[in-house]
Amino acid sequence: MPDFVRTIDLFCGAGGLSVGFEQLSGLPFKTVWANDSNGFAADTFNLNFGPVCRAGDIVDLLKDPSVPVPQVDVVMGGPPCQGFSLLNKQRGDDPRSKLWIPFMEVVRRSGARLFLMENVPQLLGSREHQELCARASSMGFTVWSGALVAADYGVPQTRKRAFIVGSMDSDPAEFFPPPVTHCKPGAPTTVQPWRTVADAIADLPPPVGTEIRSIAPPLDLHFGRNPTEKSRARYLAIPEQGMNRLDLQRAAPEITPDCWIRKTSGGTDLFGRLWWDRPAFTVRTEFYKPEKGRYLHPEQHRPITHREAARFQSFPDSFRFTGTKVEIARQIGNAVPPLLAAALARQLYLLHRAAQQE
């Protein structure tokens, strides 16, 4: 067995990156230190990986001399993306878009010769992206940046995210992007077709109750909600796969919210039903609210459950979440899909091995 490749997982959330690296890549990665500002997420991380995650603000931790940063091979993580998100594009300079600075400080202190950063695609080409790449270059790193679609790597979800890879020893552009393993059906290629909603959740029975249950997975997180009568009527008014708020307006204008009627452009996924034969759309932190996106079950008259969302993110059923329903939903929606993380891990391992053989 080769020596472990030691990693730090920053802004780690529940641990989507570490699941991919440690559990799904088939390679000897080991997270030895992690951090998240959310205590519930840190508890989930420690439940699955052992007591390596320190909860708290990373800036404060870096100021504390009693908190040493261990020496590692790789630093990875996804600084909070609100500063770049399309949902926040009118807010101007957002201090949360600067959290790459403590990330790179951890890279420096840890002696890591590789780093991997995840964020929303809007990061690419931004001023912060340029500043980050300049900082990495001044530290001796060669950088690759690009956007990847999770469905191309076996995740049953069309989530698109930006990744930045830095290496002190080789040009990461020789190893990235990872070769795709899945593709949109009908594409002229020999790789497998995208995994679909049916692939991910068709085996699950209808959900029971409205609370987390103390039973074995996957049914522990497979619970429903108590919709209002008006919400239930809205679900019934759009029974076919792929329907959305525009179909609701045509079928039942009397129960369509006025704000949706006034909204004449954009937002076609709001109050949308999923399709069985396509991947899910991006799972966000409030996936249990169908007014927030395409989160209605393909045929049952309800939003998707926490278990279904976790499967769309490619979390194994054996992964254990802890916290309230809202906190677990936040952990699921904020995570890097583990199967996408595993594809990234395999390429980083090749980079690491290439440096060792030089």
Same domain, 174 and 246: no
CATH number of 10's domain: 3.40.50.150
Same domain, 18 and 47: yes
Same domain, 87 and 203: no
Quick one: 150 exposed, middle or buried, by C-beta within 10 A (0-12, 13-18, 19+)?
buried
Same domain, 237 and 104: no
pLDDT given at position 50: 98
| Beta strand extents in 303-357 (DSSP E only) | none
pLDDT given at position 88: 46
Determine, yes or no, domain membership for 33. Answer: yes
Q: Which residues contact 160 (CB under 8 A, 6 or more apart)?
A: 121, 147, 148, 149, 150, 282
Determine, yes or no, domain membership for 9. Answer: yes
pLDDT given at position 355: 85
Number of H helices, E strands in the chain: 12, 9
Which among 217, 313, 285, 325 has a CA at the least distance from the CA of 19? Answer: 313
Quick one: 2 exposed, middle or buried, by C-beta within 10 A (0-12, 13-18, 19+)?
exposed
Residue type, 289: K
CATH number of 203's domain: 3.90.120.10
Q: Is 115 helix (H, G, I), strand (E, B) or coil?
A: strand
Determine, yes or no, domain membership for 192. Answer: no
Q: How far apart are CA 65 and CA 197, in angstroms?
A: 48
* pTM of full prediction above 0.75: yes
For 226, the domain range is 197-333
Which among 198, 150, 141 has a CA at the least distance from the CA of 171? Answer: 141
Give me the helix-helix angle, 100-110 and 127-138, nearest 10°: 10
Q: How far apart are CA 53 and CA 39, in angstroms?
A: 10
Q: Which two tokens stand for residue 1?
A: 């067995």
Which among 103, 110, 109 has a CA at the least distance from the CA of 135? Answer: 103
Q: Is 114 helix (H, G, I), strand (E, B) or coil?
A: strand
pLDDT given at position 197: 98
> Could you list the pLDDT tens digit for every one of the 358 residues in the chain?
458 999 999 999 999 999 999 999 999 999 999 999 999 999 999 999 999 999 999 999 999 999 999 999 999 999 986 554 444 444 445 445 589 999 999 999 999 999 999 999 999 999 889 999 999 999 999 999 999 999 999 999 999 999 999 999 999 999 999 999 999 988 777 899 999 999 999 999 999 999 999 999 999 999 999 999 999 999 999 999 999 999 999 999 999 999 888 887 777 889 999 999 999 999 999 999 999 999 999 999 999 999 999 999 999 999 999 999 999 999 999 999 999 999 999 999 999 999 888 6
Same domain, 45 and 98: yes
**CA-angle at 149, arms to 73 and 198, nearest 5°:** 115
Strands 29-36 and 53-55: parallel
Q: How far apart are CA 201 and CA 245, in angstroms?
A: 24
Which among 252, 257, 253, 258 has a CA at the least distance from the CA of 237? Answer: 252
Give me the helix-helix angle, 39-49 and 325-334, nearest 10°: 70
Same domain, 169 and 27: yes
Same domain, 252 and 211: yes
Q: 129 and 27 in contact (C-beta within 8 Å)?
A: no
Strands 5-10 and 53-55: unpaired
pLDDT given at position 97: 53
Determine, yes or no, domain membership for 191. Answer: no
Determine, yes or no, domain membership for 36. Answer: yes
* Count of domains forming the chain: 2
Determine, yes or no, domain membership for 126. Answer: yes
pLDDT given at position 86: 44
pLDDT given at position 2: 56
Determine, yes or no, domain membership for 189. Answer: no
Same domain, 104 and 179: yes
Same domain, 156 and 260: no
Same domain, 255 and 150: no
Determine, yes or no, domain membership for 190. Answer: no
Same domain, 284 and 224: yes
Same domain, 66 and 138: yes
Quick one: 51 exposed, middle or buried, by C-beta within 10 A (0-12, 13-18, 19+)?
exposed
